Structure 1
Amino acid sequence: MATQPFAYTIWAQDKPSRAPAVRASRPKVTCTYQRWWYANTLQKVGRGVVDPDRSPSTEQPKDGAWYEVKCSNGSRKIVWIDNKRAPAVNAEQLAQRAYKRIPITPPQVLTAPPRGREGLVGLPHWFYLAKEQWAAKSNRVRTGAVWAEATARPQRMTVNTGEGHTFTCDGPGTAYDPGRPATRQGSTCSYRFRYPTNARRVTVSVTWSGTWHGSGGTGGALPPITRSVTFPVRIVEAQALVTKG
């Protein structure tokens, strides 16, 4: 704006408005709570592990409980929480707890020829699981009105032959029946070794898939679990005997 009082020229200019500062948004930190059974049972956990303001030797579990707190920013701590302000647990958290408690052990693998006996180069070497190894296992956990059941199911068996080959079988393999003729039997999980060896290290792994369902119609998938066992296999070459007639 310009005016001319008494032959003076006066200029006025509005200050440019500053753009509003953009505040960097911090990532949202989420935390999960899980009962810390170790501290509640022993009642002798050191002060450096749990809440330094409380002594577990003087607290009674009926008044509250120790909780393991894990947050998405990587922090982890053990805190005492009174029952009146204990965090609500959801079905998914219970499902993860139930899944970890399912007893999934390394597979019990049988072979034909039997373990400890020699196999022959070029002939099928059978691999199969012991009875009742290929069956789903479940576990259920409940806290108040919230519950969840986790189930692990065997999905595939993988055999590492120890001579550079790995193959996968969709099931537990076919059991060899010594009471039946060999011509009437067939394997669904076998391998023909190519080289003789005194102690070929074979590894058999079984992978389990996990699912869960719980209160409120909830449910979903859980990460797979793999268990393995390694054992020696001796492979020899068949010797031909030639005689003059």
Structure 2
Amino acid sequence: MECSDGYRDVIWITKKHAPGTSPRQLARRAYARIPIKTPKVLTAPPRGKDGLVGLPHWFYLAKGEWAAKSKRLRAGRVWAEATATPQRMTVNPGEGRTITCDGPGTRYDPARPAAQQRSTCSYRYARPSDSNRVTVSVTWGGTWRGSGGSGGTLPPITRSVTFPVRIVETQALVTKG
């Protein structure tokens, strides 16, 4: 190593009494470095389009959003790998209730007839509103494993996104003939 002042020596200074890094400490650092972003939520009807009172409003995550993510760190002979796994999605549709979905929701397929569509994460609005604020949260559970057969759990991480949903009411007129 050559410095601007002409020095060429590298001197290693060791901390004789510094404690070593444990696998658990490395796991916590690795967990903090896993890139868990706010969820990309899709809806049916699509965002920006009106939903209808009494019909299911679908919520689901974009493709690839529901997948475990890991990060591994090493400090000398000590290593740890932390993994964040999505566990549940909760939806607060803006009417005072919260629904919990065990997965990413079912993608709506406009190519299939309505009778063949089934949602695993939907909500039926009871009344029209221009101002529903929907909050969708994804909770990730953490685990880790490390050198020496160590391992354990890490605290959950939750990421949320909030967006507006407009719900309208339509009237139908049924006639004979």
TM-score, normalised with respect to structure 2: 0.90
> Does 1:203 pair with 2:135?
yes
Gap regions ≥5 residues in structure 2: 1-9
Task: Map 1:126-165 to 2 at 5 A.
Answer: 126-165=58-97
For the residues of structure 2 that align with 1:62 and 1:185, how far apart are their CA atoms? 68
- Counterpart of 2:45? 113
Q: Which amino acid aligns with 2:23?
A: A
For the residues of structure 2 that align with 1:236 and 1:204, how far apart are their CA atoms? 21
> Does 1:190 pair with 2:130?
no
Superimposed CA distance per residue, residues 58-114 of structure 1 (whole angstroms, 9 cap, x where no aligned partner): xxx9645xxxxxxxxxxxxxxxxx444442111000000000000001110000000
- Counterpart of 2:104? 172
> Does 1:237 pair with 2:169?
yes
Superimposed CA distance per residue, residues 143-162 of structure 1 (whole angstroms, 9 cap, x where no aligned partner): 00000000000000000011
Superimposed CA distance per residue, residues 179-226 of structure 1 (whole angstroms, 9 cap, x where no aligned partner): 111111110000000110112100000000000000000000000000
Superimposed CA distance per residue, residues 95-147 of structure 1 (whole angstroms, 9 cap, x where no aligned partner): 00000000001110000000000000000000000000000000000000000
> Does 1:87 pair with 2:19?
yes
Task: Map 1:35-114 to 2 at 5 A.
Answer: 63-64=12-13, 82-114=14-46
Structure 1 vs Structure 2 CA RMSD: 2.0
Greater than 3 Å deviation, 4+ residue runs = 61-64, 82-86, 241-245
Higher relative contact order (CA 8 A, sep 6+): 2
- Counterpart of 1:215? 147
Indicate if the aligned counterparts of 1:63 and 1:83 stay in contact, CA closer than 8 A. no
For the residues of structure 2 that align with 1:226 and 1:204, how far apart are their CA atoms? 10
Cα 1:120–1:131 change in 2 (3 A) is: same
SS at match of 1:203: strand
Indicate if the aligned counterparts of 1:169 and 1:189 stay in contact, CA closer than 8 A. yes
Task: Map 1:25-44 to 2 at 5 A.
Answer: none
Q: Which amino acid aligns with 2:53?
A: V
Bigger-Rg structure (1/2): 1
Q: Which amino acid aligns with 2:126?
A: R
TM-score, normalised with respect to structure 1: 0.65
Q: Percent identity?
A: 73
For the residues of structure 2 that align with 1:84 and 1:178, how far apart are their CA atoms? 66
For the residues of structure 2 that align with 1:62 and 1:173, how far apart are their CA atoms? 57
SS at match of 1:106: coil
For the residues of structure 2 that align with 1:169 and 1:62, how far apart are their CA atoms? 57
Q: Which amino acid aligns with 1:213?
A: R
